[in-house]
Chain A
Amino acid sequence: DAKTTQPNSMESNEEEPVHLPCNHSTISGTDYIHWYRQLPSQGPEYVIHGLTSNVNNRMASLAIAEDRKSSTLILHRATLRDAAVYYCILSSPGGSQGNLIFGKGTKLSVKP
Chain B
Amino acid sequence: KAGVTQTPRYLIKTRGQQVTLSCSPISGHRSVSWYQQTPGQGLQFLFEYFSETQRNKGNFPGRFSGRQFSNSRSEMNVSTLELGDSALYLCASSLGAVLETQYFGPGTRLLVL
Chain A residue nearest to B109 in the complex (CB): A41
Residues of B within 8 A of A (CB): 4, 31-33, 35, 42-45, 48, 50, 55-56, 58, 90, 92, 94, 96-99, 101-107
Residues of A within 8 A of B (CB): 32, 41-46, 49, 87, 91-105
- Give the 10 A-B residue pairs with the shortest CB-CB distance, closest first: A43-B104, A98-B48, A102-B43, A98-B33, A96-B56, A46-B101, A99-B45, A97-B98, A43-B90, A44-B104
Chain A residue nearest to B31 in the complex (CB): A98
Contact of A93 among B90, B98, B101 (CB under 8 A): B98
Contact of B45 among A41, A92, A101, A104 (CB under 8 A): A101
Whether the pair A97, B31 counts as a contact (CB closer than 8 A) is yes
Complex CA gap A101/B41 in Å reads 12
What are the residues of chain A within 8 A of B96 when measuring CB–CB?
Answer: 97-98
Whether the pair A100, B98 counts as a contact (CB closer than 8 A) is no
Whether the pair B99, A104 counts as a contact (CB closer than 8 A) is no
